[in-house]
Amino acid sequence: MKKNILIFLSCSVLLSCSKRYIQFANQYKFHSVDGLPDYSNLDYWAAHPYKKDPSDSLPKSLSKKYHPDSTADIFFLYPTSYTDAAMPYGYNAPLDNAEINAKTDYGSILYQASIFNNAGRIFSPRYRQANYWCYFPKDTLAAIAAFKLAYEDIKAAFEYYLEHYNNGRPIIIASHSQGTTHGILLLKDFFDNKPLQKQLVVAYLAGMPVHETDFTNIKPCTAPGETGCFCSWRTLKAGFIPEYIQHEKEKAVVTNPLSWDVSSPSVSRKNNKGSVLRKFSKLKKKVAGATVHEGVLWTKRPHFFGSIFLPIKNYHVADYNFYYLSIRENVRLRLDNFLKK
């Protein structure tokens, strides 16, 4: 019971500060002092098709029907795993820290990036992520600089990927939390109203507020098989809206990750075919429903052994876990539709 609860408590919940960062990011020109990572070295990738990593994993029940497909590429941006309030390494995480990398690899790469391994090759660059507390800065300029440095790494990794690996393949962008903070910028810099947009299958931007006005030509997805669009959601307990969300000036886009259809804003947990909790190897059915409500995604208390004692109302850490199989099936549908075009 306690172990199930810990999956929700093991990661800090980020507030919706990504919009503020994006507004400030282009006003300041911060540069890396020690140079960019060498993305020709596979050690600088948390997930990469040329090495074995946790994104290759599968829940047991999916292994028999698994058929690897290298038609498309998934560029996955993981959430914050450098959460120590003391900031022992400064505002940005080092790339060679074994503890932080293990937290990333056996956290988000295993539980989130693996969702996409039936749709193509997964690339996830290690980057000098900003510390969690940069979302609540005492020194605003230092925090902005930290996010800027993190994005410089991601941008460099994506440019290296395009030059050496893509070869015209369809691209899926997927991200969570801090990854979504940077994913918005990546879409703006490389896809939105640019030639590469024609290769965009879909973007899954979870865990942070994303607005329709963030992009010029990339629109929110409105139907399950639509392509060239983006999906986004933030999961909370039904009835709960944090104060910081109440004060948001612009309502965030919310995609229902069970129906994927704007005409079906509410889906019962009974129609959720598979979530992944602490035990990755086992898919659990009927854990969480999904209801779109005023800029957030609501679900009633999730159903699993011991969940009655779950003390939190913000399910940020489970944005992907709750809807694991639904996302996996949806990305395959969108890719198939994209390839038919």
pLDDT digit string, tens, across residues 234-254: 999 999 999 989 999 999 999
Task: Tell me the mean pLDDT in the region 35-59.
Answer: 97
pLDDT tens by residue, 280-336: 999 999 999 999 999 999 999 998 766 665 778 999 999 999 999 999 999 999 999
Please state the pTM of the whole predicted model: 0.90
Amino acid identity of residue 167, one-letter, is N
**Tens of pLDDT, residues 157-195:** 999 999 999 999 999 999 999 999 999 999 999 999 999
| Across 220-230, average pLDDT | 98
Average pLDDT over residues 3-10: 36
**Position 87 confidence tier, pLDDT thresholds 50, 70, 90:** very high
Could you give the strand order of the β-sheet that contains 121-125, starting from the edge strand earlier in sequence? Answer: 45-47, 121-125, 73-77, 171-176, 200-206, 229-231
Containing domain of residue 301, as a range?
2-340
Q: List all residues 6 or more positions away from 34 whose beta carbon is below 8 Å from its beta carbon.
A: none
Beta-carbon contacts of residue 256 (< 8 Å; ≥ 6 apart): 233, 264, 265, 266, 267, 290, 291, 292, 297
DSSP assignment string, 225-264:
T--SEEE---EEETT---HHHHT-SSPPP---TTT--TT-
What's the total number of domains in the chain? 1
| Structure-block tokens of residue 231 | 């999906």
Sign of CA dihedral 265, 257, 203, 32: positive
Q: What is the mean pLDDT of residues 36-43?
A: 96
Residues of 42-75 as b/e, b for ≥16 C-beta within 10 angstroms?
eebbbbbbeeebbbbbbbeebeeeeeeeeebbbb
- What is the structure's pLDDT at 25? 42
